[in-house]
Structure 1
Amino acid sequence: MISLNDIISNVNNEFADRKIYFGLSEVPESIILPESWKSFGLSLDEAPTYPVEWHSYITEFPSVIALLNDSLLGTALLASEKVEMLYIFHDANGFYYYLGGLPIGG
């Protein structure tokens, strides 16, 4: 079974060159987030949340929504010159990631 420590350790190893935030309380006030990103985070006790903008693709890309609902462990923020949403997934082969930029118009 995967633990939060496993996830955090893997993310820290994969993105060692970036500042990583695993919860909103960790984000400095100087980083302004879109409203839909403010519920990001990791929790194995609750269903993971992702920005509501993804729901606009449900008819065009239902497999993307299915992937988010079935394999997403959670989200984190990566910061360097820009801030990106890190989508953290897991399957039988291990962890994998998707990096997303600000929502269109965000």
Structure 2
Amino acid sequence: RALILSRGEPLAFGDLQAPVKSEAPFESGVGPGSHLDLQREDSLALDEIVSQHIRQVLEMTGGRVGGERGAAHLLGINPSTLRKRMRKLGIPFGRKCKKN
């Protein structure tokens, strides 16, 4: 895109910037003041961040994984992929998460 817009002028590295998205597709709950604080000194491991995000989305969906109102739909992934990640991260689902 930068090459097309340069109109024959030499390109510098600073001219090659990724476009900035103006809006998120939906409110994910991650940001200033959210439960997930990425500015902490003891930064979280990626698996911990993913686990927290999945748990937040599951809370929003009432524990539902699949379907139009499920966590997988909100996360933009296949329900079987979400279940596999939940198994890997030790997040209970289905019969395992029934309340006592």
Q: TM-score range by the shorter chain?
A: under 0.3
Structure with the higher strand share, 1 or 2: 1
Which one has a bigger Cα radius of gyration? 2
The structure with higher relative contact order (CA 8 Å, sep 6+) is 1
TM normalised by structure 2 equals 0.22
